[in-house]
Each structure stands twice: as structure tokens, then as C-alpha cells.
Structure 1
């Protein structure tokens, strides 16, 4: 099975680069990985980079909001970057863009989290 995402360190921030379209299982895997990073490495700031993602559905959006809630409960933050306009519209329609901070670029997200 192909990798769905990769995680790299950018100082105090962990960047999750999505490599292929998301499904429910891949989002659960991301949640598990982020929880592990928070517990084992003390990371509590995360960027999810959507550069390679073309589609998303409400189930995935809901799961991302849940992950963000978990991260914020632990004193951290989770933001999104490189979200294409059609995906941004989905976030807007569902109301998730009022909950999730969305940045145009990864660099902009990094600047705001550091």
C-alpha cells in the first residue's frame, strides 16, 4: 500500500504532507501519529499540507476538526496549508473554516505557528 502522508519536523512544528487523497482510515492514522508525536516528542503544533489533494468530503472534514480539537485540548494548534479553492469552498460550506485556520502556503502557516 502506498504512503498516504509523510511527517517532517520544522523546528517546533510537525508538518504532515498529504501524498494522496484522504479516506477515513488515513485520517485515523494521521490522528494516531499526531497523538504519538505529542506524547513522545512533546510536539503540539501541526500543519497539514493539502498541496496534493484535489477532493475532500464532509466525513474527512469532520475528522480533521476532531483532530484539531484533540490537539487544542493539549495546548497545541493544528492548521491547514495549500488548500485548493474547491476544497476551501467545502470547508466554508460546512462551516469548518471558522474552526480550522487555513493558510495559503506552508511558509505562512509556519510563520504564524512559531
Structure 2
């Protein structure tokens, strides 16, 4: 498995749970690194069931949202499953306003996400 700096991975029943190490995802360089690490989950690691746990994330920039959208497309192209969990209400509001709640599968917590994968 590759070394990840922006992400922490754990596995539960064929599902990889990905937790963000950064609470604020706003720096352009960090977002690029984060994007590459997300892509590596699919391209290098060949993961097919991924839960992105946003429990540590307090703030996401619009550039970070763009990376998530690109990652979702990559996941879909790879015929993998992706679920987002533990999104704070203020971040969820941005997802709702931008209609990203229609693009992403979102569950309240990790247990709910693991139950459907």
C-alpha cells in the first residue's frame, strides 16, 4: 500500500474507510496532494468500496470540492462505490446548495455507510 500523508486508511469487511488528516482543506498545494492520494486509492490500490469519513474536516474550499467531484467521476469510471459520511452541518449545507447531495451518496455516519456497502 502506498504512503499517504493527507489520508488515513482502515479496512472493514472489504470496505476501505478513508479519514482526512487535515481539518481545513484550503491550501492549493495540499489539495493537489490530497487529490493525487484519492486518485491513488483507485488507480494504484484498486479499491472498489470506499467510505470518505469527513469527521475531522471543519472547512473545505471550493477547489477541494472540485477535487472530490473529479474523484467521484474516477470512482464511477472504475466501477467502484463511494459513500461520504460524518459531514458537519455547515459543510453539508454547501453540498446541498451546490446540488452535490445528488452526485454523492451521503450517510450520517460510518456505520450507516458500511451497512450499505
Which interval holds the TM-score relative to the shorter structure? 0.7 to 0.9
Distance 1:98 1:55 in 2: 20
Distance 1:29 1:77 in 2: 22
Q: What is the CA distance between 1:39 and its match in structure 2?
A: 4.3
2:72 corresponds to which residue? 68
**Ranges of 4+ aligned residues in structure 1 off by more than 4 Å:** none
Contact 2:6/2:37, CA 8 A, preserved across alignment: no
Counterparts of 1:6-17 in structure 2, within 5 Å, are 6-17=8-19
Distance 1:16 1:26 in 2: 16
Q: What is the CA distance between 1:63 and its match in structure 2?
A: 1.2
Structure 1 segments unaligned to the other structure (5+ residues): none
Distance 2:54 2:68 in 1: 12
- Normalising by structure 2, we get a TM-score of 0.81
Structure 2 segments unaligned to the other structure (5+ residues): none
Counterparts of 1:1-114 in structure 2, within 5 Å, are 3-20=5-22, 21-23=24-26, 24-113=28-117
**CA separation of 1:29/1:45 partners in 2, compared to 1, >3 Å: closer, same or farther?**
farther
Distance 1:58 1:32 in 2: 17
Distance 1:44 1:70 in 2: 11
Q: Number of residue pairs matched? A: 111
Distance 1:7 1:65 in 2: 20
